[in-house]
A and B are shown apart, each in its own frame.
Chain A
Amino acid sequence: MVTTLFGVSIIAFVILRVIPGNPIVMMLPPQATQQDILELKAQYGLDKPILVQYGIWLMNVAQGDFGVSIHMKQDVMELIMERLPATLELVLAATAIALILGIFIGTLSIMKKGTFVDKLGSLLAILGLSIPDFLWGLLFIIFLGVFWHVLPISGRIASTYTLKTITGFFLVDSLLKVDFKGFYSAFLHLILPAFSLALPLTAIVIRVIKSSLLEVVKEDYILLARVKGLSERVVIFLHALRNALIPTTTIVGVQFGFMMGGTVLVEIIYSWPGLGKMAVTAIITRDLPLIQGVVLVLAFIFVIVNLIVDLLYTFMNPKIRYG
């Protein structure tokens, strides 16, 4: 786990310094002299050799100091913490939607094998995989935002609101403040972006559930469950699903980690003030400290999620849990 983090930070560090385009030059007016450039460079410590720069950065990070954003002139950690909850809320909502929809459709599909429901489920699965999140986003915006004004398509909450945030999660904060109107607005704003992210994942969940269930259903204990006279519904939803969920949660967990780093386009399209949007701007403006900070935080989250997934797996599999 630690090596992964190191690896990622090193890759980021090196690549960024290889990038053509100098953040310093971008910051200064065109008339800036060589002297000005050198001074600014020194101020940001960019004049030292790479290894030293990395060493310094590492030491600072160990103390929780991620540096200051060159472009936005704010503390990197602050910036990240401002945006992180927005992205987290989005990804959590998307994952929840994907799990519920996917498990339901996938299981139903297996139960009514070969019928209309099954074919519909398969179609949805392939569609979900073929249409990436941002295209879903654009489709939603066109049909539900532009052609028919059904749902909001911009921002996290109606601009008339100023939500005093505690956790940064609008849904949670509005409930804590018993602000139902605020909750409703935040909820509406969350729907389209969350669904855009959720649908490709739903397709994956449907696939995994179907394939796991197909495997599980061949097992003897499913035959025994039927022999006992249990209804098909009980056999599938209780006995089969319980076992099929194990590989499913593993995969969904991993996808969650990936999604955290992949919200960029959806955030841009919906003007969602999250990490992804900020990261892209940072890359374009060559804002090195910010990019490094974001990359490291995302990689960290990814690693943590993987750990949680491993723990979940152990927890869910009685053979491992009870030895």
Chain B
Amino acid sequence: MNIIIVGAGKLGYSLADMFAIKDNNVTVIDNDSEALQRASAHIDMMAVHANGLNIDVLEQINIAITDVLIAVTEGDETNMLISLIAKRLGCKRVVARIRNPEYSSQLDFLKQTLGIDYIANPDLETAKEITKQLLTNEAIYMDDFAGGKVAMSEFTVATTSYLTGKCIKNINLPKRILIVSIKRNEEMLIPKGDTMLLAGDQLYLIGVKEELHNFAMMYNDHLIKPERKKIKRVMILGGGKTAYYLAKRLLQSGIQVKIVERNKERCKELALALHDALVIHGDATDVAILVEENVGNMDAVVMVTGFDEENILLTLIAKKYKVPKVITKVSRSNYVSVFHELGIDAAVNPILLMASHIMRHVQGGKIRSLSLLLGGQAEVMEIIALEGTKIVGKPLRTIDLPEGIIIGAVVKSGKVLIPDGSMVIEPHNRIIVFCLRDDVDKVDQIFYKGKRGLLNELRYGIEGHR
């Protein structure tokens, strides 16, 4: 696939990095040669130092045979114009980032008149994701996979349950449900057939959505659904675009919202736009203000200031005041590795989130779990099997999977299957993979890298490697 990305900022970089695997030809255009150098030093792509609005430049890099152009420059209007030009020049699909909330009501009109195929709004997506994490308090609490067919769910084994002391192989599980992991004493275990269930174990199940529901009903007395306090009061620290979208959504669900923002003018704007929200003018890093505004009484606190460091610090403060639910926006993916040490369990990365959404739109490829799951100890991801990878074309039992990686479900031509040793995955099947934190790095190897060795390298060519 030929992909052109205009703008080598954080999002442009992530997109280039994600797309530059396999046989995708990625070209990145930017005016800033330093940003380009940074990208081309790490990613196998072509860097073009030019203005993305320049028709000559676009024609030079073969816009007419390009599959996707993604405009992610600083300005909304620039992105729109680039998309418009690209579409007219014959680009098959165009994606534009448009952030300004004022455009949000006319997006459909813009899409139609400008011929934009997908409009990316990171702030809106971040707000949606945070809302989802705040509001879903049913048993089936996680993202749906494979377009809603597959879900993941969490239960605790009740003390009185007859399940206590039973081995997994003796439990009468519905056919299309799999226990992928057990959390016992704050530690994740990968269950085997002879693993015994104990009272208080938290079970993580993957399976067909309806069957999971039925299962929950069936074992109603033996499994405790995770208790989640209904959220009524939310404090949002930082009053940017994300805060605006988030507050709007929360207010619609009848939740009280308190926003702390340090810019007076912005406070006025927010207060005008969001009638029911309480907008506080003050520096969120000033702990006195947080205490004054009763941070400890909140059901949830969300950090969406423009600075990762500030967000992380504020999370620690909120934790100290025992806020039950704390969600942090962090844009730098390399901070994620220290979250566990810091005790941060819910983080949303707008860049990765947006990049995944665009990726899903463009080729339906790998979707990394969007937030840290299960207290950062595991990730769930949806992957499309690629031709020529280890996983394809052989019975699963012959594939040497690391212990911490479990294939939870496979979707073959619309049907959800729970894999067993004899299953053969074919190219383009969707796979739901559950993976412990320590084995995340191996996922790429197994699902993307071809086999080692000269012949295979000749056959499959260069592998995107990070």
Say whether A associates with B. Answer: no
A: residues with CB less than 8 A from B are none
B-side residues, CB < 8 A to A, are: none
